[in-house]
Amino acid sequence: MVDLLPLSSAATAARAASPAMRSSHAASLTTASCCRACAQGKKDERYCFVVDWFDPQASLVRKYQLIYYSADGTIEMYDLKNRRTFLKRCDYPAVTLKDLYKGGVITVYSRQLTIVEYGDGFTAGKLEKASAAVCVTIAPGALPQMGRIIDAITSSSLVITELRLLAEGLVLKLVGEDGPAVWSSLKPQIDGALGKDSVTQSGDVFAAGLPKTVVSDGATSTLLLVRPHAIKAGLLGRIIDQALGSGFELLNAAMLQLTRPNAAEFLEVYKGVVPECVDWIEELTQGKIVALQLRFASQPTSSVLKLRELCGAHDPEVARHLHTQSLRALYGESKIRNAVHCTDLPEDGALEVDYFFSILGGQSA
C-alpha cells in the first residue's frame, strides 16, 4: 500500500547528490562513456522524436529530430529542413525519458522544444503505451489532503502533466504506462486512507478547453511557485502538504510551462540585483512549474510574510542553519535549484498572483 503520510527519503537523497550529478551541464560523449554503458550491460535503446522550436529572431518554427539514448541518457539533434546534424550526441542530464512524451516541452541549451510526434515506429510502439493518460479530480472537501494525494500519485509510476483548480475540485492529468490501470489500483488505497470518492476519475477537461481563472482576494494572498526540478524529483505533494499544514488555504492552482520571455518578465525586478537572476530564468523554463495562490487563514494580511518564513532563506545552505524546517532547507539543492519561489514584498502579492492567474490565464502549456 502506498503510504500517504510520512516523508520518504527523496529530499535527503536530493540534498546528498553531488553538484556534478545535479547540474545540467553538457559535455561531448566520450568513448569511455560508451564502454561504461556496454560494460554495465545496459541495452542502448534509441528513441526518436520530432520537435518544434520557435526561432524568435526569424519568427519561424523550426523542426528537428531529437534522439534519446536510454543506456547513458545522451541526446542528439538533426535539422530536418537543412538535413544536417544540429547537436552532436552529448550528455544532457536535465532531459530524461520520463520527460519525453507527445505534447511535452523540454529545454535544451535554452531552446524550448515541443514534442509534436514520435519519430519512428519503435518509439511510438514503446511510448504510446507508456503515455496512457487518465484524468482525476480531487473533491473540494479533500483539498486539505491534496498534498498527500499528489505524493501518492507521484510515488507510483504516474506523472502529473496537467493540474488546475476548478469549481468541481483540483483536476489532474496523469500519464504513465498503463495509466488507467495503475490509477485503478491506486484509488482504493487513497480511498482507504482519506475516505471514499475523495478522488474520482473524470473526463479530459484539458483537451476540451478550460475556463478563464477567476482571481479574488489578491490583496490578502501570496504566490508560491514550485520549481521544475522539485516537481521532477517528486516533491510537489510534500511541498503542498507542508504549506497547507502550516495554516495556508488554497485559492488557485495551475501547472504551466513558462517561456523564456514569461520567466524574464516575471523576474525583471531581480535583474541587476540578484546575481542568480539569469540562472533562475533558465531553471524556471526547464520544465513545468506549479503556481499556487495561497492565503494565511488566521491572518490574511500577513500572507506574504508568513509564506516567506515558511520558504526560508533563498540559499538552502543558509536555510538549513536558520530555518531548519523551511521548504528550501528541506527540499532545496542550491541557490538556483532552491525548490520554490515565493512573493518577497507584501505589495507584490497581488501583482504576482495576477501575473500567473490573470495575465498568463492559468492555462496549462
- Catalytic machinery residues: 341
What single DSSP character describes residue 6?
Answer: S
Strands (E), the chain: 27-28, 46-55, 60-69, 74-79, 84-91, 105-108, 111-118, 132-138, 159-166, 169-176, 199-202, 222-226, 248-256, 289-296, 340-342
**C-alpha 343 chain-centroid distance:** 19
Q: Which residues pair with 48 in a beta bridge?
A: 67
What single DSSP character describes residue 208?
Answer: H
What's the grid cell of residue 211?
475556463
Secondary element (H or E) of residue 349? helix 349-354
Contact 143, 294 (CB under 8 A): no
What's the grid cell of residue 301?
494580511
| Residue 116, C-beta contacts closer than 8 angstroms, at least 6 positions apart | 50, 51, 52, 63, 102
Q: What is the rounded distance in angstroms from the CA atom of residue 250 to the CA atom of residue 291?
A: 11
Q: What are phi and psi of 354, to 5 degrees?
A: -65, -35
- End-to-end CA distance of the chain: give it in Å, rounded: 33
Strands (E), 207-360: 222-226, 248-256, 289-296, 340-342
